[in-house]
Amino acid sequence: MTIVSMKKLTDDMQSRASLLIDEAGLVPQATDRPLEAADLLFYISNTSMPVADFLKQHGLFMDYEGLHFDLAQFGAIRALADKVIAEREADNLNGVWRQYDLSSDEDIDNNGGYILSALASIEALYGSPS
C-alpha cells in the first residue's frame, strides 16, 4: 500500500496537470486555481457509503496521513465501476446499484466514471498495477 501526503499529491498533480486533464479525464473543481489534491479526492469521496467501504477494503481511501492506494487492487475497483456503468446503461438499477445503495441522480451521472477517472489519475501519477 502506498500513502501520499496531500501536499505531495497536490505538487504531483500540478506538475502533471495536462496529463491528468487531457488523458486521465480529471476535471478540476475550480478554474481559478491550479489543480490540488481536493480535485482528485472529490472523485473518490463523491459516492455512497457502501462504495466508500468497498474502496477502503481495496486500499483506496484518504485520511489524515493522505491518500492511500494499492495499485494491485485497482482491477477489483475498476470491475465494480464498470458494473455500475454497465447496469446504468442497461437501465438495470437492481444489481450493484441496490447492493451499494446507489440511487440518486448524482450517482447516475458520476459514480462509475468518477472512480475510473480517479484510478486513471493515480496511475498516471504513480504507475500502473504490475
Q: Taking a C-beta distance cutoff of 8 angstroms, is the pair 23, 34 a contact?
A: no
* Per-residue pLDDT tens over the stretch 17-69: 999 999 888 888 888 899 999 999 988 888 888 888 999 999 999 999 999 99
pTM for the model: 0.88
CA atoms of 30 and 36, how far apart (whole Å): 10
CA atoms of 29 and 17, how far apart (whole Å): 13
* Per-residue pLDDT tens over the stretch 77-115: 999 989 988 888 888 778 888 787 776 555 555 567 888
Q: Taking a C-beta distance cutoff of 8 angstroms, is the pair 38, 83 a contact?
A: no
Amino acid at 9: L
What residues does each domain of the chain span? 2-126
The region that residue 94 occupies, defined by phi over 0 for left and psi between -120 and 50 for alpha, beta otherwise, is: alpha
Q: What is the dihedral of CA 65, 71, 76, 80, to 10 degrees?
A: 60
